[in-house]
Chains A and B, each alone.
Chain A
């Protein structure tokens, strides 16, 4: 080959090489993501300008420096880059393997995600504030609700009431109970999302629990013209779980099915015991779920489009609670629907232990509270003190208890309550915990500091009903902790049973060293 033609070939190769090199630089040098090539010992062999900028160096300074052998979970990790006088920046690191100058190496990309992280944190903070607000709201709404509920009971007890007023009172009573349930659900969602809910696990017979819950819901289904089919194994299906929360799961799924199924429709509830899991299915012939809504129906506060249009959406908490509670039990829940109008099937899978230790007294076997409580006889000559700062709440509670035959005095704050106790020597004091001035717990402490008042039976009445709230009020000296709104029938029963209740409380306190 002639020299000239060799020269031409070399030139064309060089041109191709230049073109390739300039393409490489056009991409890598202008990328906003940092690119590093790191050898197996952690030393940097190549850096683009973006990587240098992210790591606060020049690209020349970086070459040859030790970055370190990159470790990641999957292929992503987060690093902090600290510059003098500035807050640390957050850098996302992605790692793949490559070959550099015939040797295996790491190809690392870097991206400054400080801003993204800040926005994510803002979102989390906003959600946390929302949940706190909702928890506070649902608590605050209990106070007026308690007054309304008691007022309805007062009216119901009046023999003079005509049929219409009686009917109206029943509606008020039923609807306030429904509102309390909604508030409870709302509070639950917020507590779960704040991570404040703890399961109280025991061996639970799921078959019995499901059958009992179905029984409770059956009447409501029937009144709506729905047919409920229940297929539950006759032998116990033991799982480890929180009976109260599992009941809530079944109840919410059935209520949801009832809500979205028109009269004449059917709801089928089945429980299958499989070797390592229990499979609970709730299938309805109702309005179904569109493919757009299906992925979101377990999100808190989510409202399906169809439900929104018909104005029947509710709070959007029932299914969200179901998912959270099932997940807390290590299970999963899934919804399927062929589409609008074609019904919906919910499937809950709960893990079952391989080896089952049967409990002495299964938690779920406790009988459900009777639907109609026996009318207790009012205790004669019992003197009560009601301490409540909400004037309507106070008035209604006083009226209600007077109608039951008790002698009642009332106080709006802690100081007055203490005076009235010295003056009237009541047998029982019902004390709201959130009082102006000295609060309910302080009132209890001052009463318990004086042995003269030992016989006084102290009941805490509050919107807060979590375990830690109960512990706090018992530690302050209360005998019993009740959550608003009070069920008047249960309250009367408790007033009559209080000697036994106190004995039980005392023995429980004696068991724990130190007592109150």
Chain B
């Protein structure tokens, strides 16, 4: 599988953006170790990065690899949708958690429901 390089631009003061960043981190962790790099950029802290990347409004997710490069903007609540619009295979939870097997997103915080 080719390396996946993602940049997520968020507005750090927005709790929803922070939550989406966490979800995406978890989803990326489900991809083969080391195969996916995700960098989260808070545009309030690093406005130059945002300007350089031409970010007009947040949240924006930029996939620079694998090609073709793609940029998404809007509602990121569904990780599955994000991945499918980026043309990436859906992150699948590994089978350690029996009850979670086959769950195709990275948001399973408490896999066995306590």
Contacts and interface: CB of A to CB of B under 8 A. Distances in A.
Interface of A: 41-42, 55, 57, 62, 65-73, 77-82, 84, 87-88, 91, 93, 95
Nearest to B57: A79
28 contacts: A41-B70, A55-B57, A62-B56, A65-B56, A66-B54, A67-B56, A68-B61, A68-B72, A68-B73, A69-B70, A69-B72, A71-B73, A72-B75, A73-B75, A73-B77, A73-B78, A79-B58, A79-B59, A80-B14, A80-B17, A81-B56, A81-B57, A81-B58, A82-B44, A82-B58, A87-B13, A88-B58, A91-B57
Given A80-B57, A80-B58, A81-B57, A71 B71 contact: no
Given A69-B85, A71-B81, A71-B85, A88 B73 contact: no
Nearest to A71: B74
Contacts of B77: 73
Interface of B: 11, 13-14, 17, 43-44, 47, 50, 54, 56-61, 70-78, 81-82, 85
A95 B74 CA distance: 10
Of the candidates A42, A80, A88, the one having the most CB atoms from chain B within 10 angstroms of its own CB is: A80
Contacts, number: 78
B11 A88 contact: yes
A62 B54 CA distance: 10
A88 B44 CA distance: 9
Of the candidates B43, B57, B81, the one having the most CB atoms from chain A within 10 angstroms of its own CB is: B57
B47 A42 contact: no
Given A55-B56, A65-B56, A82-B47, A72 B17 contact: no
Contact of A68 (B43, B47, B71, B75): B71
Nearest to B71: A68
A67 B78 CA distance: 20
Contacts of A73: 75, 77-78
Given A79-B58, A80-B17, A80-B57, A69 B43 contact: no
Nearest to A76: B75
A84 B47 CA distance: 8
A151 B72 CA distance: 70
B74 A80 contact: no
Of the candidates B11, B50, B73, the one having the most CB atoms from chain A within 10 angstroms of its own CB is: B73
Given A68-B74, A71-B73, 9 more contacts: A55-B57, A62-B56, A67-B73, A72-B75, A79-B59, A79-B73, A80-B11, A81-B57, A88-B14
A87 B58 CA distance: 13
Contact of B74 (A62, A66, A79): A79
Nearest to A70: B74
A195 to B, nearest CB: 16
A71 B57 contact: no
Contacts of A42: 70-73
A423 B6 CA distance: 73
A66 B50 CA distance: 13
